[in-house]
Structure 1
Amino acid sequence: MEDSATKLDKLAHRNARLKALLQKYKQTHHLQSALIQLSEQASTVAELTLLYPAIHNILQDYIPSKSFYVVLHNPINNTLELSYFADEKDGISVPLRQEHNFSHGVTGYVFQQGKTTYFSREQMKTATEQGLFKALGTPAEHWIGVPVYREKTIIGVLVAQSYNKAKGYSEQQIELLEVMSLYLATAIERVKKRELLESEVKIRTRALTQSNEALNVEIEQRKKALERQHILFKISELATQSKNLDDVYVKVHEIIKTITYADNLYIALYDRESNWLSFPYCIDEFNDNAIPRPFAKGYSELVLSTEQSQIIDIKRAEKLIKQGVIERPVKVAANRRATSWLGAPLKTSQGVIGLIVCQAYNDQHIFNQDDCELITFVSHQIANVLQTHIANQELKQSHQELAYRINEKTKELSQANMHLQMQIEERKKIEQQLYHDAHHDSLTGLPNRSLFLTQLEKTLQHYQRYPEQQFAVLFIDLDKFKDINDQLGHQAGDQFLINVSESFSHCIREHDLLARLGGDEFVILLTHLTEHQQAEDVAKRLIEIMKKPFCMKGICIQSGASIGITHSKISYRNTDEIIRDADAAMYYAKNAGRSRFECFHPLLNASSNHADAENMHHLDNLPMYFRSSEIITLNEQKQSETLLEAFGEHPVLGSTSFEVLKKFASDRVQHFEVELQLITQAFQQLRSHHLSKVLFPCSSLVLERINFQALCTLLTTHSTQHVCLLFNEQEIRYASAVQIQNLKNLVDMGYSIGLNEFAKDRCELNLLTEFKFDYLLLSSTFSKRVLQQENYNLQLQGVLAITKIQQSKVIAKGPSILNYRTLLEKHGLSLFIGKQHTLKPFSNFQPNPLKQQQ
């Protein structure tokens, strides 16, 4: 039985949940009440000058808003203009001063940022000193600005401020302001429309009273409208009173006769599949029986192709014939040719289904624009009637067939309905599963990178508002995971990851988030922390759990976890910085002995002096060397290509690839110079080791506008037909427009390019079609998934289909074991990364001659 303490804990937990629900419902009630009041005001006030005070009165019931103003954007002169202003301390004359420009103040800052911004007095002062904006007016203790959007365009800013230090703005009150701002644009639009409508009514009334002639014109227009409405009533009756299509055609002819000359009329229907015209109704003094014909170059085809009504007289007919638009049948006699011809398309929601034509011979009538407008007007209604009757006939036939079979198929339909219901239920489950799969790791069921980064972004934004609510991120890399895969197989490796994810889940709280980034990398987001020790305690529990050896098939392997920890800091502006620091701390822990945790420090080593710390981030001070990897086939046949990767000896991280080292480069100019030196060294390695073709990884930094010319100059000084520059897929995915254009320029100039680490976290086929890549290096993560899940194999087939068209070579990364490559070959892959060789190291970078020339 549970003891009393446990029961009290449960009651306390339930009580806390009830309070949270009560607060949530209270907030929802406030939101609904405020929106209802706003809607009522938008529906009743006559002008905008009355709307803003009404909104102000609504807000004062829920938040501290005695000081409140609204600023809207004037697109004509591109300035922010004051629409409403009420302040406890500043009079209306203060914001109207010449030096008081909202675009330069905090209001303009919110307008430019496009998101809700909350400042305390101290934060406002700090931001002003940093030059983000100018201080205008009396400083407030609490200031909040909410952007006002119309659709996706920001049109202004709604601002509330409090001069009472004790009266700030809670998260619920901020949410209320944000919701009010969403409906403010709509309310403004409604009031503006009402003002415009009232203005138009006044102008119209004045015009009607002043001009009797205008009144008569209006009466005539209304008579025409009534006549058209009467015609519409007649046409609408056709849909219900006519029993068959022949009767519809006759009554349509009678209606047309009441509005224009229609002694000669025919209706043509167009079949897009067969490209033929049929004439179900034709009354003509020279041709009473129109025969179906293929689509040609007649008057009717001109109406169908242009989907517009056409008036054709003798002069226009001759002109169209000369232009080759119309071809006149040879058999038609001259006295039997129409002297005036009017055709209107029969348009429906599915497109043009035919046309209706009136024609006159021997100048009996000349059709004008009024006739064209009337025929066009009724043709749309007639088209819907015809389509309805055609559909009804088809439906009637299908109903007859169904009635004939319904007695014998009752049981079969019942079973089919049951089966259909099961399919619907199954589809719902599949849709739910698809949504879950899109945000969770398919192997462990944990949240994936996308879901984790979304939650981390929300946590960071919340922390920026409430710095006292701290958080921490733990970046976890499993030790000796490769040994488990190699010795026990990938199936054992998958089971190991599942066991680890379940064990890690027991080490964190319910509101914390555990996610798998990919491979053997996990990450944890700890929220609501009060001290740094709490995150370190979690790391200790994780390390302790990983001390238990993993056993399968009688083999036990001792794994472990290297953990990097970074805590919340005011300096963090985006999630990439947080992940970068946690990753750096993890690498430090791994290089410091594994199965341990380390907290991030800017120098990664508290004992290093300043000079050593600086050297850690200067790439040109690190001893460098190349590692070459052969490109081979399944039967170990070496290809002409060689993958050449740069490595450096880092004082903290040890021997590390340049792809990792460049993450810690503090100087982008120095980073670019080192990369140019590496490309130069790659050309030297090409010649000294007699390599046929070198694939060399580069960063997107070389594609930036200020660097690209130097890269091109370097490439022109060497023979580049034996070198292919590889770019990381993630960098290309988030590249700027300038970098994208320069990458295309490389292809246009004849240089060979490739895509590295493709499909590491997701497979984007559009990248393969946007650029002409000569080589595509699949990530080892994607290669493994192809063997494990059917949907990744389908993605691979899409990749292979595109690369075959693009004539690109696809190379797989991953374990060198034969079984792995054999299985991948069954899926269509034939090239793999083979043996690696370490080339002679070099440590001294020479001054960049290209930079000296510049």
Structure 2
Amino acid sequence: MFREESTQYSQYEVGRMQKRIARLRNLALKYKRAEVTQNMLLEISNLAAQVDTPEAFYLGIHRSLNVLLHADNFYVALLNNDTGILDIPLFLDEKDPHPYDSYPREELSETLVSGITGYVLRTGKYLLCDEPKFNELIASKQIVSRGAPCHHWLGVPIKVNNAVAGVLVVQSYSPSISFNEMDIELMNFVSHHISGVMERLQHQEQLEQAIVQRTKELSIAYDKLKQEVFERRRAERLQRSLFEIADLATSNIDSEIFYSELHRVISHLIPAKNCYIALLNQQLTHISFPFYVSQANSSLPVSRKVSDGLTEYVIKARRPLLLHNRELVTLVEAGEIYNQTPKLSCTDDIYQWIGIPLFIHGQVRGALTIYSLSMTQSYQKKDLELLTFVSQHIATAIEQKLSAETLKNSYEQLEEKVLERTQALAMLNQDLENEIAHRRKVEQQLVHDANHDTLTGLPNRSMFMERLSQAVKHIRRHSLDRFALLFIDLDRFKLINDTLGHLEGDRFLIETSSRLKLCIRDNDTLARIGGDEFVILLDSIKGTDDAEEVAERVLTELSRPYKLANQHFISGASIGIAFSHNHKSDTCESLLRDADAAMYQAKTNGKGCYVIYDDESQKLINKDVKLELELQNAISNHELLLSYLPIQNLKTQATVALEPRLYWNHPGLGKIKQAHLNNIAEHCGLTTELDIYLLQQLNSDYTTLQKHSLDQLPLHINISAKHLKHKHSVRQLKNALKQSCFTPDQLWLFFDEKGFILDTDNHINAFEQLTNLDVNLGLTGYGSANSALSSLTFLPLQGLKLDPSYAKHLESEQHIKLLKAHFLTAQALELTVFVDGIGTTQHREALQEIGFTLGQGQALGKVLRLSTVSDLDCA
């Protein structure tokens, strides 16, 4: 019984032991996998120090990773944060070719970033992707399909300094091979170690120093005493060399001596019979050789453009390189060096070559190179490490030397700049003094110009008002004193300007100001306050006679002929005089207004005279305003009547045409003729209305003219040029002509030549429209504005009516010559010429001798009124 119980207990224990054994086996497998993983990670950590190229490093990672993971399809993608370009240092795949063979290098980075690799780069997280997940990412447009479809795809990010620097990828094309969480964890471990290695590679100089130190410690362990002595001597030699390099960096020696001393220091550490230092310029486009020594060639290489030489190769590699002849030949055959510049290649003569990049101002700006030409001189890895360590101090020394030279050059340039600037400042000070003197003159001139008229040099309105204000203040303080103000407006100035041009008008004003100066005393003030308006302030006068005497002198001086454009012109002036009254209400403005009002009255009185302002003058102005209003009412009430001036044949004295003229029987002023009506209408803007009224009144007189057999005579109608300035005015005139009771060929429309000179374009356009009505067109007052004869050739004119001044100056040979010229011109252009202003029989006979046949005036019949008209001798 006891034996059976013992047997049962043993079987139970056996079962428990079997389960424990199975559990222990699983743990053993896990521990074994952990040990293999640990060894693999340790091997990855040691790879960076064992391999020479990045491709060998990633191949070692693949070999280690393939022990624990199906990694036959494996690749590494690295992102260059400086350029943003995605590079693939290792690519192994059983279906897809290397991306470099499928895509151009310039498009490869963009292509991979758009695929599943770029997805991991963007998200920064691992991705385990099967076919459904892959299709889902494509459908959501997060990735673009690249390469052959796979069963499982696993990618983990490689992070350096918390930034995604690349992607580590394995993939499976077989359904029997899938990846799990342990694989993800393993890949994360590997990527973490890769990132650590990459960080160490970024600080290669510090790592190389640590490797050297570690090598020293290991060497001490094997041969402590011997190695200690060797290392101490080596350290002392190295320290002494570093001190010498530091002294060179701060020494003030020539560049050639500086680099020679650097070579001497290097030669104490390592054989350097063949050595040179290469430096890049600031733009990184050219490379120069400040130091060069060689057993084969003694000449210093010239500066050249950056190309694909060995020097550029180590600069681009950014890490120390120890290359044997066979490696150099391989690089040449692969086209990595001397492909563009084969003439520079001397690799056949080199046995070993060491290149150390020089970091100056934080970037690779050059290289320190030594090489051997025979097997007797062989370099080891420790030599590379030593030279790498020393190169840091050499780069610092070169950096300080370059900075010192740059600073020296800067000081020299600064001194030159200071000297140039000092000289420039001296010249500038001289120019400034000249400018200040010039500005003072300009300011004085500006003050003068601000107070004087630029044309005549007389005081302007501003300065005159200031002096007038002082005179008013003086009168208020000294009640017995008195002054007078003369307001002068020139006659015919506008005519001179329009006919002879503004230049002759300016000469006229300058001559007038000179004449006016002759009429006043030194203490009086003469000023020009407008275009043709002058004022005189007569200070301290005794009575009105003094002002009247000055006014007479002014009128006498201005009545003398002016010689302008080789012609003699008579101008004259209208003068208004106002006196101070010691009234508190007198102001500068009121006195000037009073003188202006008196001048206006002088113009109304016929020009060429002076008027002293009084209350009556103001009443006359008010009377003129009232007269303008009465004229408006007279037009509205049809109170204006027509008279007709006969136009006759000079030989037979038969009437050939009639010139209708308006007159007004004013209840208080009596008969007002056409000329006065035109002046009133001009002031109140009724000129065009007055002309339309005349045409309408002609229709009213048509029956009476027909009764006296005068309805068939041509009518010479004087029309204002204002009808031609605007389209609506032309249209109004055309409508009035269309409504006329007379035939179009009876109507002669005469426009003043002065208006034509002022607005030629509008006259031409309007004449073309009026010609369509078949009326006759002509110019009146011809010769008064001196229009160009050529202007008659492009106007649709049928007649000219000469200015009355020609008939009054027949005693002048020049006028007779001018009349003959007008007559010949009219004949050549087939124009009918009428002479106006024939006042005597002698005038009529003289004009006949010249050749004129038609005219009008006091000597050719009286003005006719239909109420008293009798039969006429009509042609």
TM bin, normalised by shorter chain, reads 0.3 to 0.5
Q: TM-score, structure 2 length as denominator?
A: 0.34
